[in-house]
Structure formats: structure tokens, C-alpha cells
Structure 1
């Protein structure tokens, strides 16, 4: 009589099961269960880096997806993120995750205004596991504070994190400031684009798509320090037209003007509750902010991606996305003297109204 060999789960099956268990704990807002999942995984010999990136980071990605689909409220998303942060903290003090630094020193910081700190925290922990001495500065680090820290430490590289593209002008200032004091910058996070295009545009010394790739990049070859005669890059040439500055500085006025005119262009808005009106004003503020960022980077596609994403978010929440084209049209009218801005807005309108664009093309 033959006996069957018990099935031993593969590494992939193990992390998928752990991610499912962690998701169950996180979605139930049970931080004790969440930390138990992580600690038991480490006790069972699962590599700490895999727990960080294949389990915790994977679950955090699902948190974002569920929020975007309106299956998690903002409060639930914040609670889930906080629990994942506690899980990372529990992992960081487990004996399996303790290492002796033997590589060098890296400072990990979020761009000023960037409050999505978990990606940076995951990166910091991966660097620790790889043998780096890590100074983790957390969320929303103003450039002067970052530079003051670099003056006090012998940092080999700054790992700069940003998830929101609207923070890229600030990231540019931080990159330039770090290089001016002789410290190279490794950029990462969704804000810099899936292919790192904005990291290159803003002069970062290197870019990585995720924490594992970032650690691998520094393991291959150290980033050279900028030379003493290094000249920080000047403003991007297209900024000479001052459109970014004018739109950015006029943000409050533009939002107020568009909000008022939108009541006539989109009559349904007159029936909005006070809470709905507040959210509409917030959405308009984000639209102007991302328009300004697109002008700063000279990239119309960035705004188009943002506005189509906004339409998807509104639709998931039962809010009519058809209010967006009228809002963009009003904004176009207000910025009629700014050719780059009006062209960028028109691309956004076209993306939201493909049927009209197709019809116009046929009639031409």
C-alpha cells in the first residue's frame, strides 16, 4: 500500500496564503491578528524581505484598489494602512529581521507634502535587511530639514519617495538641494512614473520601480557623489513661459471662479448637499493642482491620466463624471491666454468625451 507524500506548499503558495490571512485581519481592523500573521510567518522561516514586499506591500496594494472601487471608506483605508504600518514595526524588531550594518548609510525620506509614508517605510526596512545603516525620516520632510540632516550625517545616498505626482515640483527642489551638498538621490514611488521618466527629467541620479529593485540597484554599484563643482540643474526650459507659476499661484481664485460658473454649466450641482459641494471644491482644487504639475513637467499626458482616473473614482462613488468636461471647459476659458494650459485641458476633455472627438474627426 502506497502512502502519499503530503503536499508542501511552494514559496509562492505560502506568501499568497499569508497575504490572504493578513488581508482578512486588515479588513477586519484587527491589528493583533495582523501582527500575529507576520510574526508567525517569521517564526516559520519565511524571509523577512518576502514578508515585507510579497505580503504586507501586496495587501497594502489591495487596500488602495478597494478604496478606489469604493469598497473601503477613507477611514477604513486609513485604519488598514495604520495596521500595516504596525505590522512592519513588529517585523522590524523580530530576531529574524535584525542585521548588522556593513554597507553604508542611506537616508530615506518622503517629499514635502507627501503623506503616503508606508512605501518609504517598507524601503527603509528592506535596506536594513540588506545591511545598510538607515535613517528613516518619514512622511512630509521639508527640503531644509532634509539638508540639515545630511549636514549632520555622512549619508551615502538619499532615497526620496513620492506617491502623488502633484508633489513632483517639490521633489525637484529636494533632488537639486541634495545634489548641491554632494549627496546623490535615488528616486522611487508612483509619482515618478512607471518607467521613471519624471525621475530622469528632474535630474535624479537613479530610479527604481520598487523597494527590491532599489536595494538591488545600490548593491550593484554605489551612486557616485556629485562633484564639488556640480551645478544644480536650472528650471526646465519650458518654464520660461511662466504658465506653471501663474496657474499655481492662481489656484484658489481659479477654483472659486470655476465652482461658481459650474452651477450654470451643470445645473444638477444646484441640488448638491453641503458635503457634496465641499467635495466638488476639493476635486476642482486637485484638478488645478495637477494641471500646474503637468505644466511644470511639460507633460500633457500626466494631466490626462489624472483626469480619467478622477472620472473612474467619481463613477465608483455614484457621482456623475459628466460634470468634469464642463469644469475643464470653464477652466480653459479662464486660461485662454495660456496656450500650454489650454492645450493640456483640451486633451483632458477629449479623453473624457471620446465619442465627441470621434464624431468631430469624421465630420472633418
Structure 2
């Protein structure tokens, strides 16, 4: 890398692409040298973490969704990003001057890199951070809170299907007397679904979370949000009947979509996983009474399937097979109908939500 590279703006897409090439090639040493050169030239570590590492990770997800990268390559690139982040964190030390915060990904949430970036930003801002990592079971989180007594809990959720578990975690934290700030794409645009689940504060970006915790913490008591819809009858039925819904849909799929007769065993397994995602996103949508959660998922799924040469008609057939089994549940069928209508004239797909 030439010395001039370090002087370029981190908003320069060519800079991200150079770093992304190293990450995608599994070149941990090259990627680390690239990031350290920027640091040595005076680029703030926060900007490297957010704009370079975070920006490249966003591109990694896009490349997977476009079927240009395999899951294996995506995972390898993520591992390199994590190592680069750790190296930068080791070079930028700061003493705690604020308080103690516990940071964890919701149970079942395995996208840990965004939370790890937040952890490092909080450390640099003077917090003592207990970063518990990805997919932290609720009871383990609460045990840690009782053992350490932090001033706050930061919860990360990148996939909406984890929202019911996020709600359970928020409720348990409050029972332990600890306020919660929530963030991550799973909480919706601007993390607005966090309010419905009882979070004390929320942030749409890591930097916004750092600002909230530094200038507006503890937050004033939030107004009570109606929660009678959380986990209602339709949601409960869907969760309990999930295995049967998937099995029945698979049994009926050949009649609804004859091309499945020619599927390989791998394709059948992938199709079963897709039915599982449909059920899980529909359940999350019902849990927080927000149809857009499911509609965003189906729009994105359509774009992913198209990039893999699977016609949208296959997804529509699958949605109808699930709908046929939920005919007695008006919110579920209305949500499915809205998603099917969207697929007739699809809008621009949202960012990736699952893979």
C-alpha cells in the first residue's frame, strides 16, 4: 500500500474496495497493515472502526446477498474484520472515567461484529465495558448483572426474529434494576421497535449510542407503551405450530410449484430452511404488531432468490402454502396478503436481514 492511501477520505469507495479485497482474500496481515497505516497517519480509530471496518462488513453482506460471495467467504471475511478491530483496540487504550456497562447480543443473535465495534467505541469514550459477545442466553445475562452491577445494559439485535427474546431480556434487566439501551437493524428503522419492547433508550448507530450514553443517561422514564398485543393468540399459535406448518408446506409444495420435483436434496433442505424463515419472520411481525417486518423480509428474500436464479413465483407459492394453514388468523393472513401484493410489483429491497 502506498503512503498516499492513508491520506484518502474513508468515504472514498475505492478505499473501502481496497480493504475489502484484502478481507475477502483472507489476508489478515494485509488488512491489519492497511488499517494500522491509517491510524499511524492520524485517522481517528473511531473512524477506521465505523467507516472502514463497518463499511466493509456492510459490503460483505451485500456481496453474499447478490450471490457473489459464498457463506464461507463471508464468514472468513468477518473473522478478518474482527481481528483487525482487535488490533486497533489494542493500540488505543483508555482508562474508564464514566461507569460500567454490559453489552450483549440478544439470545440467538450471532452477528456480533456491530456490537463489538460499539464496545470499542464505548471504551474509548471512557466506559468500562463488559462485552459478553454473540447470542447471550437471558439467564446468563441476568446472572452477570447481579454479579457486576453495571450502570446500563446495551442490547444488540440485528435480525427481527430475535425481538421476542429481546423483549424477554429487556424485561429481565428491568427486574434487576438496570436500564437498557437497544440498537441494531433488528429493532427496525431508527430502532423504533425498541420502544414497543420497553427499552429505556435506543440508537440507530453505534455513534448515536455513544452520544446517548454520554449526554442523556440515565434517560427520563419513558411513557408506557401498550403491550397487550405482545405474544397474543396468533403469535402463540404460530410458534407452537411451526414444525407442522413447515412439514405440511413441504408436503404440498410439489403440487403448488412443480419445479420442486427436480430439486436436489440440498435444494430441498434449503427450501425447508426458507419455510422456517418465513414462519419466524411472520411470528416476529405478529409479536410486535408490525406487518412491515415481514414485508421487508419477503422483499429482500425475493431479491436474494432472484440472484440465485430462483423465480419469485417460488416464494409466492410458499407464502400461499403458509397462508392456507393460517386461514383462521386474520392478522397473519392480512400480513401474508400484503407481502404477496408487494411481490407483484416489488419495491427496492431493504438491507439484508438474515443469512
Asked whether the two chains share a fold, i.e. TM above 0.5, the reply is yes
Q: Mind listing any 5+ residue stretches in structure 2 that lack a counterpart?
A: 347-355
Cα pair distance change 1:101/1:193, threshold 3 Å: same
Query: Tell me, what secondary structure is at the counterpart of 1:337?
Result: coil
After the TM superposition, which residues 245-324 of structure 1 pair with which residues of structure 2 at under 5 Å, given as runs?
A: 245-324=236-315
In 1, the alpha carbon distance for the partners of 2:33 and 2:256 equals 54
Question: Residue 340 in 1 paired to residue 340 in 2?
Answer: no
1:280-311 deviation line (CA, Å, top 9, x unaligned):
11001100111111110111111111111111
Instruction: Give the C-alpha shift of residue 19 in structure 1.
Output: 2.8
**Residue in 1 aligned with 2:167?**
172
**Residue in 2 aligned with 1:360?**
none
Q: Which has the larger radius of gyration?
A: 1
In 2, the alpha carbon distance for the partners of 1:257 and 1:35 equals 50
Between the two structures, name the one with larger relative contact order (CA 8 Å, sep ≥ 6). 2
What is the alpha-carbon root mean square deviation over aligned residues?
2.2
In 2, the alpha carbon distance for the partners of 1:344 and 1:44 equals 52
Query: Tell me, what secondary structure is at the counterpart of 1:313?
Result: helix
In 2, the alpha carbon distance for the partners of 1:347 and 1:14 equals 37
After the TM superposition, which residues 186-197 of structure 1 pair with which residues of structure 2 at under 5 Å, given as runs?
A: 186-197=181-192
In 1, the alpha carbon distance for the partners of 2:265 and 2:272 equals 11
* Contact 2:6 2:41 (C-alpha < 8 Å) held by counterparts: no
After the TM superposition, which residues 145-160 of structure 1 pair with which residues of structure 2 at under 5 Å, given as runs?
A: 145-160=140-155
Instruction: Give the C-alpha shift of residue 12 in structure 1.
Output: 2.6
Instruction: Give the C-alpha shift of residue 353 in structure 1.
Output: 1.9
**Residue in 1 aligned with 2:42?**
45
Alignment match of 2:344 (pick from 333, 353, 357)? 353
* Contact 2:231 2:287 (C-alpha < 8 Å) held by counterparts: no
**Residue in 2 aligned with 1:76?**
73
Alignment match of 1:200 (pick from 173, 195, 203)? 195
Q: Mind listing any 5+ residue stretches in structure 1 that lack a counterpart?
A: 1-6, 356-364
1:205-228 deviation line (CA, Å, top 9, x unaligned):
1111111111011111212598xx
Alignment match of 1:65 (pick from 62, 65, 73)? 62
**Residue in 1 aligned with 2:352?**
none
Q: Give me the TM-score of the superposition, normalised by structure 2.
A: 0.92
After the TM superposition, which residues 132-151 of structure 1 pair with which residues of structure 2 at under 5 Å, given as runs?
A: 132-151=127-146
Cα pair distance change 1:13/1:105, threshold 3 Å: closer
Query: Tell me, what secondary structure is at the counterpart of 2:190?
Result: coil
**Residue in 2 aligned with 1:161?**
156
In 1, the alpha carbon distance for the partners of 2:213 and 2:232 equals 38
The runs of at least 4 aligned residues of structure 1 exceeding 4 Å deviation read 7-11, 13-18
Q: Give me the TM-score of the superposition, normalised by structure 1.
A: 0.89
**Residue in 1 aligned with 2:123?**
128
Matched length = 343
In 2, the alpha carbon distance for the partners of 1:336 and 1:14 equals 49
